[in-house]
Amino acid sequence: MRQLWLPVTLAVLSASLFFPTPVFAYDGKLRVKCNVPAEVYINKIQVGKTGEIISGLPFGKCKMWVVADGYKKHEQMVDILGNDIIEVKVTLKLEGDDSTDTDEEPSSDEEEPGEEEPKKEDKEKEEPKTFDVKDVRKASKEGDNDRLRKILNSDSEYIVRIVAAAALLRLKSKASVDFLDGEFGEKFKSAPDKWFDDSPLFGQFRVLAGSVDIADAFDEKEVKFDTFDETVPGYAAVLIMKEKQEEYRKECRKLQKKMARLKKRKATGWWGQYSTCDHNIKRMSKDIKDYKAFISRILSILKKRVRSIENKDLAALAKYFYDHAKGKLKD
């Protein structure tokens, strides 16, 4: 009897392999376009969101709901057939809006599948390599830090970059501080020569003017910081004067030690060398004193400009120069 079961069992298994029982397929696809982001329900089950392709749906007629916060629920029947993507367009109305339906197309905010945002690298390639002052003023007015940083790091003219740095200062961006600290170290080496040629604080080839000429410029009120091309050389003069003060102080100390040795030994011709050292010490001491007075007057002008200049970006630059001098260039 048991031997009869074996052939029967094999026959049943073979039939099940070659003639499987039909299974209800759930491979329908649906995409709902809507004027606002919303959730999609099929037969009261949430199946996805608007704008995306929803798959694994049962074939045949189904009831669909489209729901979004603050909007009236949309309800309709959809017929999902074959392997094609069934597309449905829906326009949700705000709650309390009793106007009739329109044929308004869904918002284009939702991207079609497969569409991608332009890559960041592509956007950067589209940016111009150089900018002008108008670009800076627009970005400054809009408070666009990112664009100002691009301008600051671009190959634009120096005036454009220094104005961008000033705008970033006003907007309290660290990028401007890094840029200006580099300029301080180089004594504004990248600034146009013409700015220094036109400054009453400098002679030719960016050489600091003599003390008499600088004093006359202050007395005649020629030293003004009303523009960027006046303010930058003005603060460059402060940095150079401070550097010279330190240099002269060190040299004076060396000469004083030399004078002490000469006086002690009193070798042949010592008095001539002693007198020369004494003369140089007096000259450098006077320059140190003059530079201190000039720096004080420059900072006084900068302080006034912070309050009086209508250009807020230039005022921010003047304030930064003033604070830098007070904080890092103390005697």
pTM of the model: 0.60
- Whether 22 maps to a domain, the answer reads no
Number of domain units in the chain = 3
pLDDT at 152: 94
Domain span at residue 174 reads 118-185
Those residues with Cβ within 8 angstroms of residue 133's Cβ, 6 or more apart along the chain or in another chain: 159, 160, 163
- Whether 201 maps to a domain, the answer reads yes
Alpha-carbon gap, residue 187 to 320, rounded angstroms: 15
Alpha-carbon gap, residue 247 to 285, rounded angstroms: 11
Same domain, 277 and 311: yes
Alpha-carbon gap, residue 85 to 54, rounded angstroms: 9
Model pLDDT for residues 301-312, shown as the tens digit of each residue: 999 989 888 899
CA distances 222 to 88, 226, 287, 307, 321, Å, are 75, 11, 21, 20, 19
Mean pLDDT of the chain: 83
Same domain, 263 and 316: yes
Query: Helix, strand or coil for residue 76?
Result: strand
- 236 with 319: CB under 8 angstroms? no
Confidence of residue 102 (pLDDT cuts 50, 70, 90): very low
What CATH number has the domain bearing residue 36?
A: 2.60.40.2070
Model pLDDT for residues 205-229, shown as the tens digit of each residue: 999 999 999 999 999 999 989 999 9
Q: Is the pLDDT of residue 25 over 70?
A: no
- Whether 76 maps to a domain, the answer reads yes
Same domain, 176 and 257: no
Same domain, 209 and 242: yes
Same domain, 124 and 225: no
Strand partners, 78: 62
Q: Is the pLDDT of residue 6 over 80?
A: no
Q: Which of 274, 294, 125, 86 is nearest to 201 (CA)?
A: 294
Model pLDDT for residues 150-191, shown as the tens digit of each residue: 999 999 999 999 999 999 999 999 889 999 999 998 999 999
Q: Is the pLDDT of residue 23 over 60?
A: no
Same domain, 237 and 200: yes
Same domain, 154 and 197: no
Arithmetic mean of pLDDT, 127-149 = 91
pLDDT at 311: 92
Strand partners, 80: 60
Same domain, 77 and 179: no
User: Domain end: 185, 217, 240, which one?
Assistant: 185
